[in-house]
Structure formats: structure tokens, C-alpha cells
Amino acid sequence: MKFFVDNNLPPALARALHALSDSRGHPVVHLREKFDQGCKDEDWIKSLSTEGGWSVITHDRLNKGLEREVLSRAGLIVFFLDKSWSKRTFWDIAHNIVRWWPRIIEQSEGMQGGAAFKVPYSFSGKGRFEQVKL
């Protein structure tokens, strides 16, 4: 499974996750490595859908009508960091995303077809996602 980090998270975070998981068959790419920084969400969503095999990590809600519609048809696995991640520092986000990372990989590997999940900031037990309807 390949992982795509949206433009609303730092490229350095994507590079760190890539360094931690690429050797295990899970490359991580930031939007700016694959597309222009100003690329519209619906354009990168369509491109990743065509390629296949991508899970998306985003802090964007992607709730505009067109984005949501394109995303629902794309067949991607999407992890939305919920609102509780918003006012955190870079280091808090980096620490916590690394904590969640094995669960995100596990959830992605267990899915066929598209799905969307909300990732809470708090991690307890095995780490539970909330399924999101697109």
C-alpha cells in the first residue's frame, strides 16, 4: 500500500513516515513530491484513483460538494485527522501520527475498495477509527 500525505500536513512529516515504512513496502509521498502545490483536490484524487493502491492521510475535511463527490467515486482509502489535531504543534502531530501509523497501515491493508475513517488525536487500546460516510 502506498500512502499520500495531503498538502495540509508538512512535507517533512511525509518524509519521516517514508523513512520509517518504505523498507516494509509502504512508501509515503507528499502532495508536493507528486503534484504542483496548487493542484486542486479533485485533480490529485482522480490521478491517485487511476493509479490505484493509494491511501490518503489528510487534515482537510474535503467537504466541498465536488471534492466529496470525486472522493466518493475514487475508491481510495482516506484517513481524516479530526478537529482535535488542529491546534497542536508540529512536534505533537509528528509524535502522534507515528503512534497511529502502524494502525493506519494495518487498516489500509485490511480494506478492499474505498473507505474513509476519522482519526482521533487520542490513541488508546488498539487505536479505533470512526468510519466516515462519503
| Grid cell at residue 70 | 470525486
Give yes or no for residue 86 having a pLDDT over 80.
yes
As a whole number of angstroms, the distance between CA 45 and CA 25 comes to 22
pTM (predicted TM-score): 0.93
What confidence tier does 95 reach under pLDDT thresholds 50, 70, 90? very high
Relative to beta strand 54-58, strand 2-5 is parallel
Mean pLDDT of the chain: 93
Give yes or no for residue 19 having a pLDDT over 80.
yes
| Grid cell at residue 69 | 463527490
- Around 115, how many Cα atoms within 13 Å sit in the side-chain half-sphere? 14
What CATH number labels 2-131? Answer: 3.40.50
Instruction: Say how many C-beta atoms besides its own lie within 10 A of residue 99's C-beta.
Output: 12
Residue type, 81: L
- Residue labelled with grid coordinates 509521498: 29
Q: Which range, of 34-43, 62-71, 102-111, averages the lowest pLDDT?
A: 62-71
Relative to beta strand 115-119, strand 77-81 is parallel
